[in-house]
Amino acid sequence: MDMRGTRILFFVFWFLGIYAPTLFCANVQYDHRALVIDGKRRVFISGSIHYPRSTPEIWPDLIQKSKDGGLDIIETYVFWNSHEPVRGQYNFEGRNDLVKFVKAVAAAGLYVHLRIGPYACAEWNYGGFPLWLHFIPGIQFRTDNEPFKAEMQRFTAKIVDLMKQESLYASQGGPIILSQIENEYGNIEVHYGGAGKSYVKWAATMATSLDTGVPWVMCQQADAPDPVINTCNGFYCDQFTPNSNAKPKMWTENWTGWFLSFGGSVPFRPVEDLAFSVARFFQRGGTFQNYYMYHGGTNFGRTSGGPFIATSYDYDAPIDEYGIIRQPKWGHLKDLHKAIKLCEEALIATDPTITSPGPNLEVAVYKTEAVCAAFLANVGTASDATVNFNGNSYHLPAWSVSILPDCKNVALNTAKINSASMISSFTTESLKEDIGSLEASTSEWSWISEPVGISKADSFSRVGLLEQINTTADRSDYLWYSISIDNDDTGAQTVLHIESLGHALHAFINGKLAGSHAGNSEKAKLNVDIPITLVAGTNTIDLLSVTVGLQNYGEFFDTWGAGITGPVILKGLKNGSTLDLSSQKWTYQVGLKGEELGPSSGSSGQWNTESTLPKNQPLTWYKTNFDAPSGSNPVAIDFTGMGKGEAWVNGQSIGRYWPTYVSSNAGCTDSCNYRGQYSSSKCHKNCGKPSQTLYHVPRSWLKPNGNTLVLFEERGGDPTQISFATKHIESLCAHVSESHPPPLDLWNSDTEYGRKVGPVLSLKCNDHKQVISTIKFASYGTPLGTCGNFNHGHCSSNKAMSIVQKACIGSSSCNLGVSTDTFGDPCKGVKKSLAVEVTCT
Positions annotated as catalytic residues are 184, 253
Cβ count near 27 (within 10 Å): 12
3-state SS track over 714-725:
CCCCCHHHCEEE
**Distance (Å, whole) CA 638 – CA 647:** 12
**Distance (Å, whole) CA 500 – CA 567:** 8
**Distance (Å, whole) CA 807 – CA 444:** 51
Find the helix packing angle between 98-107 and 3-19, rounded to 10°: 110
**Distance (Å, whole) CA 418 – CA 657:** 38
Instruction: Please name the helix (run of DSSP H) or strand (run of DSSP E) that holds residue 364, with its range, or none.
Output: strand 361-367
Residue 271's closest CA among 123, 408, 422, 150?
A: 422
**Distance (Å, whole) CA 748 – CA 408:** 11
**Distance (Å, whole) CA 515 – CA 497:** 11
Peptide bond into 503 cis (omega under 30): yes
Burial 347-384 (b: 16+ CB within 10 A, else e): bbbeebeeeeeeebbbbbbbeeeebbbbbbbbbbeeee
What are the counts of helices (DSSP H) followed by strands (DSSP E) for the chain? 14, 43
Burial 99-124 (b: 16+ CB within 10 A, else e): ebbbbbbbbbebbbbbbbbbbbbbbb
Instruction: Please name the helix (run of DSSP H) or strand (run of DSSP E) that holds residue 707, with its range, or none.
Output: strand 707-713
Residue 747's closest CA among 729, 766, 728, 760?
A: 760
**Distance (Å, whole) CA 178 – CA 72:** 13
Q: How far is CA 708 from the centre of its chain?
A: 27
Largest CA distance in the chain: 101
Query: 62 — phi, psi (to 5°)?
Result: -60, -40
**Distance (Å, whole) CA 798 – CA 821:** 14
For the chain, the residue count is: 841
Instruction: Please name the helix (run of DSSP H) or strand (run of DSSP E) that holds residue 428, with its range, or none.
Output: strand 421-428
283 and 352 Cβ atoms separated by less than 8 Å = yes
Q: How far is CA 635 from the centre of its chain?
A: 18
The neighbouring-strand residues paired with 353 are 365
Burial 210-234 (b: 16+ CB within 10 A, else e): bebbbbbbbbbbeebbeebbbbbbb
Burial 330-342 (b: 16+ CB within 10 A, else e): bbbbbbbbbbbbb
294 and 317 Cβ atoms separated by less than 8 Å = yes
Q: How do strand 361-367 and strand 353-358 relate by DSSP bridges? A: antiparallel
Single-letter amino acid, residue 645: G
| Residue 541, helix vs strand vs coil | strand
602 and 685 Cβ atoms separated by less than 8 Å = no
726 and 627 Cβ atoms separated by less than 8 Å = no
84 and 90 Cβ atoms separated by less than 8 Å = yes
Radius of gyration of the chain (CA): 29
Please tell me what DSSP assigns to residue 612. Answer: P
